[in-house]
Amino acid sequence: MTPPSSVTGKRDVSRTLGETFATMSHLADLAIDWGFKKMKKVGEAPVTCGKASHPLCYVKRVTQPVLRFIGSMGDAYYEWYEKLKAKRVERK
């Protein structure tokens, strides 16, 4: 928590808004990261179909590599983003 302003004794509105936006951004990142991990997990799961000729089986076989690719891309994005943030903290 940020200490109150020395002039008014209250927290700065700009500081409060900035922290609120940062929290919302962090929550969105967590949700998106969760989604990427779910996509990768679904993409790596074995395809189980009763009938190989069923249209739904075809859809599963086509979408699994796409989900795996997007999930892997999301993992790479967040790994690299964390490294960039760590470099930024080192420079301060």
- Residues 6 or more apart in contact with residue 24 via CB below 8 angstroms: none
Neighbours of 79 (CB within 10 A): 10
Widest pairwise Cα distance in the chain: 74
- Tens digit of each residue's pLDDT (9 = 90 or more) over 40-76: 999 999 888 777 677 888 888 889 999 999 999 999 9
DSSP 6: T
Strands annotated E in the chain:
none
Q: How far apart are CA 58 and CA 25, in angstroms?
A: 37
Query: What percentage of the chain reaches a pLDDT higher than 90?
Result: 62
- Tens digit of each residue's pLDDT (9 = 90 or more) over 45-55: 988 877 767 78
For the chain, the domains span: 13-91
When pLDDT is cut at 50, 70 and 90, the band that residue 4 belongs to is low
Predicted confidence at residue 55, as pLDDT, reads 83
